[in-house]
């Protein structure tokens, strides 16, 4: 499938792929499809995993193909035009900041990205002597930034209540709602509320599915589906009373794992349009397509620079996998905003891979007093909510073991004396230390610090001659680069541990309605059984040892999710039960006896009498309330 490239690119993007064909997994939205590039991800070694995930990340920058349907992409004229229109609306608020506000909102990864970007742009404004204009909302509040609380995004009313609080007294509020799959009720409610109150609010929806693929299931506490909300926004976009920014960037390298491309594209898209707004507002001119393209190319360059370190990324992946295999812990210790990226990566492993919160954890070194809306929410909340420098020194450092791995993430502009002191303290406990270091041409790591690390991923950036706002481009590049490295390492480590079947997360934690439906789709895909049988098996695995009654079967999805949150290995157990036609206790025993959850499923797939292949996934949802 040829593509007609209109722009000069920094990197070579993959050619338009099989996933763009109209018949490919037709019932699935793009963000839930499996990526043909990675269909054998579970058979890949560390080097190949880095290569494949790097190719998937490069798909972000693809232009439109000539396949039908032709999905709009990041570089499509329609997307660039909408970005400029939104940038213009942001400029209007920047010109009258006293009565205005820009709210970035989302659940899970999207909410953490909202947090990161609001912190960044408030730092930019403070540095210019301007009053900070940004705030963030994340489903479940500040605790969801540093801990996995994915279920909080299922309430539309919760989203509206939180929005009303932060917008009180403001006369012009731009609300940028982020939902990679166009699926989170938390965001849907906010967008609907904004459309009902356009005198004050301007809603901007960001996601990576076409609107006709937005989630269409009923929302338990709201009258509209997400798709209906998005369709209404499209109509209002004609009058610039709402905007939808939804370029397709292809399926995730790990099916449905929107923490990866979804999170990265959110950062690229919004930082590009917001930075363009800030760069041009003082000159009294509108942001231009050229300005957008210049910034987008710097993010392409970040991809090239990052994946030039592929062999060292693969080495780090193997080290992390070895620590986890030995029941060790992995600690990601990042300075300043790179610490936020570290926290995000660790938290997201919990629901993505069914990991324990202690397996991979991020820590932020540096002052974070002005970052959070409600810092009190994070005080004395227990070990799951520890993330600060003090937490690392008091809770982690004393108990470090040789089987643990600690990764230090910093730039050569950080306090290197502080870095060296902490590295020396850690090295007394474990020799498994690694560094991810960002520098600019002309900078070099001091020899005493360099010799402390057995291995260093050193990423050097070219000098950029920009005005103050433009200097943030390099900051954003470093953050994105760090995200790509950590996502690739933590994902690859779990692939090597046998947590992935083909390119599917088999042991994900069912923490919200999106993940419930994904679990059901996995059972259908690999068992080939009817929807009714798959629902029955899933509910049995969730509620065991309680027998399934008609009352339980008829309960709303939220009640099943509430029980599932406390359970482990629900999907592998349900799948083995389906494939082997055995009871839940027998399936649990088989999963426990296998070297990994995927081996347990492979054994069941290879069992006698197994029907080969799975029936196509149907578009309609099963009749679960």
- The CATH number for 105's domain is 3.40.50.10490
Bridge pairing between strands 433-440 and 504-505: unpaired
CB–CB of 500/256 below 8 Å? no
Decide if pLDDT at 265 tops 50: yes
Q: Which of 214-228, 270-284, 324-338 has the lowest mean pLDDT?
A: 270-284
Residues 192 and 88 occupy one common structural domain:
yes
At 539 the pLDDT is 95
Residues 461 and 344 occupy one common structural domain:
yes
Total number of domains constituting the chain: 3
Q: Which of 97-106, 247-256, 282-291, 531-540 has the lowest mean pLDDT?
A: 282-291
pTM over 0.75: yes
Phi, psi of 63 (to 5 degrees): -95, 175
Distance in angstroms (rounded) separating the CA atoms of residues 31 and 210: 10
Half-sphere exposure of 591 (CA within 13 A, CB side): 26
Q: Which of 188-192, 197-201, 366-370, 476-480 has the lowest mean pLDDT?
A: 366-370
pLDDT > 70: percent of the chain: 92
Half-sphere exposure of 15 (CA within 13 A, CB side): 7
At 94 the pLDDT is 92
Decide if pLDDT at 370 tops 80: no
Decide if pLDDT at 5 tops 90: no
Residues 119 and 50 occupy one common structural domain:
no
Residues 45 and 92 occupy one common structural domain:
no
Distance in angstroms (rounded) separating the CA atoms of residues 251 and 431: 38
Residues 361 and 458 occupy one common structural domain:
yes
CATH number, domain containing residue 492: 3.40.50.12620
Q: How many CB atoms lie within 10 A of CB 386?
A: 19
Residues 114 and 240 occupy one common structural domain:
yes
Decide if pLDDT at 576 tops 80: yes
The pLDDT of 501-520, averaged and rounded, is 89
Distance in angstroms (rounded) separating the CA atoms of residues 471 and 492: 32
Q: Which of 205, 230, 248 is the C-terminal boundary of a domain?
A: 248
CB–CB of 298/477 below 8 Å? yes
Domain presence at residue 617: no
Decide if pLDDT at 612 tops 50: no
Mean pLDDT (the chain) is: 89
The pLDDT of 422-428, averaged and rounded, is 95
- Helix, strand, or coil (residue 79): helix
Nearest to 180 by CA among 233, 117, 134, 112: 112
Distance in angstroms (rounded) separating the CA atoms of residues 466 and 414: 21
Q: Which of 248, 267, 285 is the C-terminal boundary of a domain?
A: 248
Residues 436 and 552 occupy one common structural domain:
no
Residues 120 and 234 occupy one common structural domain:
yes
CB–CB of 198/231 below 8 Å? no
CATH number, domain containing residue 536: 1.10.8.1080
Decide if pLDDT at 148 tops 80: no
Residues 332 and 375 occupy one common structural domain:
yes
Is the bond preceding residue 545 a cis peptide, omega within 30 degrees? Answer: yes
Provide the b/e sequence for 59-88 (b: ≥16 CB within 10 Å): bbbbbbbebeeebbbbbbeebbebbbbbbb
Distance in angstroms (rounded) separating the CA atoms of residues 398 and 425: 10
Q: Which of 248, 264, 295 is the C-terminal boundary of a domain?
A: 248
Residues 416 and 551 occupy one common structural domain:
no
Residues 440 and 518 occupy one common structural domain:
no
Count of all residues that appear for the chain in the document: 625
Distance in angstroms (rounded) separating the CA atoms of residues 528 and 617: 9
The pLDDT of 302-308, averaged and rounded, is 95
Residues 437 and 520 occupy one common structural domain:
no
Nearest to 488 by CA among 603, 309, 317: 317
Residue 58 belongs to domain spanning: 40-62+307-474+484-498
- Residue 616's pLDDT band, with cuts at 50, 70 and 90, is very low
Q: Which residues sit opposite 65 in a β-bridge?
A: 3
Distance of CA 149 to the CA centre of its chain: 14
CB–CB of 232/194 below 8 Å? no
Domain presence at residue 337: yes
pLDDT > 90: percent of the chain: 68
DSSP label of 393: I
Decide if pLDDT at 301 tops 90: yes
- What is the widest separation between alpha-carbon atoms in the chain? 72
Nearest to 540 by CA among 528, 521, 518, 523: 523
Nearest to 572 by CA among 611, 604, 609, 610: 604
């Amino acid at each position: 499938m040829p593509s007609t490239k209109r722009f000069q690119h920094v990197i070579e993007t993959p050619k338009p792929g099989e996933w763009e064909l109209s018949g490919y997994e037709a019932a699935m939205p793009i963000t839930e499809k499996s990526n043909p590039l990675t269909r054998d991800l579970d058979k890949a070694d560390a080097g190949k995993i880095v290569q494949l995930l790097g190719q998937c990340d490069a798909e972000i920058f693809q232009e439109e193909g000539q396949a039908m349907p032709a999905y709009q992409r990041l570089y499509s004229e329609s997307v660039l035009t909408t970005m400029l229109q939104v940038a213009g609306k942001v400029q209007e608020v920047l010109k009258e900041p006293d009565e205005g506000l820009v709210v970035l909102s989302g659940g899970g990864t999207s909410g953490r990205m909202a947090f990161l970007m609001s912190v960044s742009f408030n730092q930019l404004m403070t540095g210019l002597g301007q009053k900070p204009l940004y705030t963030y909302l994340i489903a479940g509040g500040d605790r969801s930034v540093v801990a996995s609380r994915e279920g909080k995004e299922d309430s539309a009313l919760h989203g509206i209540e939180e929005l009303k609080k932060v917008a009180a007294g403001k006369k012009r509020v731009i609300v940028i709602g982020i939902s990679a799959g166009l699926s989170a009720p938390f965001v849907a409610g906010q967008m609907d509320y904004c459309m009902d109150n356009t005198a004050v609010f301007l809603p901007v929806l960001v996601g990576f599915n076409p609107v006709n693929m937005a989630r269409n299931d009923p929302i338990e506490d709201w009258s509209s589906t997400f798709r209906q909300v998005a369709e209404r926004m499209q109509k209002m976009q004609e009058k610039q009373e709402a905007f939808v920014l939804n370029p397709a960037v292809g399926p995730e390298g790990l099916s449905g794992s929107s923490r990866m491309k979804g999170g990265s594209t959110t950062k690229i898209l919004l930082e590009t349009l917001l930075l363009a707004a800030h760069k041009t507002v003082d000159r009294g001119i509108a942001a231009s397509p050229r300005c957008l393209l210049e910034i987008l190319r710097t993010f392409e360059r970040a991809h090239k620079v990052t994946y030039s370190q592929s062999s060292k990324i693969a080495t780090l992946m193997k080290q992390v996998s070895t620590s986890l295999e030995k029941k060790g812990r992995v600690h990601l210790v990042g300075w300043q905003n790179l610490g936020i990226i570290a926290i995000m990566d660790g938290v997201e492993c919990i629901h993505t891979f069914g990991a324990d919160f202690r397996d991979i954890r991020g820590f932020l070194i540096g002052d974070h007093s002005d970052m959070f809306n409600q810092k009190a929410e994070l005080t004395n909340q227990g070990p799951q909510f520890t993330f600060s420098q003090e937490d690392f020194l008091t809770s982690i450092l004393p108990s470090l073991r040789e089987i643990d791995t600690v990764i230090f993430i910093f730039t050569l502009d950080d306090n290197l004396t502080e870095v060296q002191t902490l590295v020396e303290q850690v090295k007394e406990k474990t020799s498994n230390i690694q560094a991810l270091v960002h520098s600019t041409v002309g900078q070099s790591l001091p020899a005493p610090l360099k010799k402390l690390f057995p291995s260093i991923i050193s990423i050097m950036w070219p000098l950029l001659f920009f005005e103050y706002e433009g200097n943030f481009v390099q900051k954003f590049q470093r953050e994105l680069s760090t995200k790509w490295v950590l996502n690739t390492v933590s994902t690859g480590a779990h692939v090597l541990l046998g947590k992935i079947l083909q390119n599917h997360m088999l042991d994900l934690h069912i923490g919200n309605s999106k993940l419930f439906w994904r679990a059901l789709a996995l059972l259908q895909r690999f068992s080939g059984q009817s929807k009714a049988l798959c629902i029955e098996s899933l509910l049995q695995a969730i509620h065991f040892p309680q027998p399934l009654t008609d009352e339980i079967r008829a309960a709303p999805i939220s009640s099943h999710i509430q029980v599932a949150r406390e359970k482990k290995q629900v999907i592998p157990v349900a799948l083995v039960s389906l494939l082997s036609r055995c009871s839940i206790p027998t399936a649990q025993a088989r999963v426990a006896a296998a070297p990994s959850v995927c081996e347990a499923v492979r054994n069941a797939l290879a069992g006698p009498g197994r029907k080969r292949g799975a029936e196509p996934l149907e578009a309609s949802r099963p009749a679960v309330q």
